[in-house]
Amino acid sequence: MRSAKDFFTPLAVGAPPPITEVPARPSRMIHFFDPSNEKMAAKVPDLVGTVDVLLGNLEDAVKADRKEAARLGLVAIAKATDFGEHTQLWTRVNSLDSPWVLDDLTTLVSEIGDRLDVIMVPKVQGAEDIHYVDRLLAQLEARAGLTRPILVHAILETARGMASVEEIAGASPRMQGISLGPADLAADRRMKTTRVGGGHPGYLVRQDPIGGDIHGERTTYQQDLWHYTIARMVDACAMHGIFPYYGPFGDIKDVVACEDQFRNAFLLGCVGAWSLHPVQIDIAKRVFSPSAEDVAHARRVKEAMGDGTGAVMLDGKMEDDASLKQCLVILELADRLAA
Ligand code: GLV
Ligand code: MG
């Protein structure tokens, strides 16, 4: 199998050094704003320090005749704002089959490349899309004299992208992570939903009737529409040492369902989700940070396991090398978030 290194060739002159490891910075919520919307843009400085990631969105939800305003708005905001140590600046550029993406990339890298941490690329179909962006970024970074490589994040939102998720995850050392794009993916798969992410009241399992009476009462449970997709994305990301994210939850008022969807994703391995409205910031912060009880339990297991091998009984449950490894995942996340 070809490795990502075969594709990533930093330009010799003035290019940033190659990436050896994706930085594990907190990114529990990727908070979207529309840089062409003056009211929204004015709120950006207030969010610095309270959100892990601020993302200037140039793609869907920005009208075609506002694309340039959004791009230039993002340049102005990035130049005027000090994002500090705790908030990263990301952008979502237009898709690679759009007339806007080339200007997005050339303008943003030359104007604010030193401030952008990650570029999110929508509707990625395969590794070739990432190779293209990787090469173009290397050229633009060298021309701009940047010393730090900009990372790349792919949105998984087509059936073809889904089928290529492993090779997308490993396509370049620039790959920072992958988000699920449930709205576009649902359309591309011809799912019969009309929502932006989350579950559906019709996607159920129904319990057998009690006592075999077919007219008897039956309980129904809503299933997670995104279980297979998230699990597959998580495996691809884990295999390549990059980070998986649940994407948008469009029903802003339904904070309960939003929290449920985010929590399912967290338990399956995701490190964050998009927030489309300030109410979703706190939900993501709560869900994607390990609970105090989980951290306390993980510490107890670590202590009880001594040198990390063998088995011990704690509260009537068997703990061993493998349960310790799970606890170390929780502790490592807690340490990173506390740093
Ligand atoms: C996000 O871009 C989505 O399509 O869900
Ligand atoms: Mg989309």
Q: Which residues of 100-120 are buried (b: 16+ CB within 10 A; e: fewer)?
A: bbeebbebbbebbbebbbbbb
The pTM assigned to this predicted structure is: 0.93
pLDDT of residue 111: 98
CA 155 to chain CA centroid, Å, is 8
CB burial of residue 265 (10 Å; 0-12, 13-18, 19+): buried
Spacing, Cα 184 to ligand 2 middle (Å) = 5
How distant, in Å, are the alpha carbons of 23, 198, 293 from that of 330? 18, 25, 11
User: Does the structure show a pLDDT above 50 at 21?
Assistant: yes
Nearest listed ligand to the Cα of residue 123: 2
Ligand 1 mean position, distance from CA 308 (Å): 42
CB atoms within 10 A of CB 134: 23
Task: Name the residue with higher pLDDT: 202 or 211.
Answer: 202
Nearest CA owner, ligand 1 atom 1: 181
Mean pLDDT, rounded, for 292-305: 97
Which run of H or E residues covers position 176?
strand 175-180
Pocket test for ligand 1, best of 59, 95, 155 (most atoms within 8 A of CB): 155
CB-based contact 304:319 (threshold 8 Å) = yes
Helices (H), 218-320: 227-240, 255-268, 278-287, 292-304
The yes/no answer to whether this complex scores an ipTM above 0.95 is yes
Pocket test for ligand 1, best of 57, 59, 60 (most atoms within 8 A of CB): 60
Pocket of ligand 1 (CB under 6 A): 60, 155, 157, 181-184, 196, 247-248
Kindly give the number of the ligand 1 atom that is closest to the alpha carbon of 157: 4
| Cβ partners under 8 Å of residue 103, min gap 6 | 68, 71
What tens digit of pLDDT does each residue of 238-264 get? 999 999 999 999 999 999 999 999 999
The per-residue pLDDT of the chain, averaged, comes to: 93
Binding-site residues sit at: 92, 157, 184
Binding-site residues for substrate:
92, 157
pLDDT (average), residues 317-337: 95
Q: Quote the tokens at residue 308.
A: 């990390």
Among protein residues, the one whose CA lies closest to atom 2 of ligand 1: 181
Position 7 pLDDT exceeds 50: no
Q: Which pLDDT tens digit goes with each residue over 181-202?
A: 999 999 999 999 999 999 999 9
Contact partners, residue 246, CB within 8 Å, separation at least 6: 179, 180, 197, 226, 230, 261, 262, 265, 270, 272, 273, 274
Residue-wise pLDDT for 97-127, tens only, equals 999 999 999 999 999 999 999 999 999 999 9
Residue 39 CA, ligand 1 centroid: distance in Å? 23
233, 251 Cβ separation under 8 angstroms? no
The pLDDT of residue 19 is 66
Amino acid at 267: L
pLDDT at 10 over 80: no
Nearest Cα residue to atom 3 of ligand 1? 181
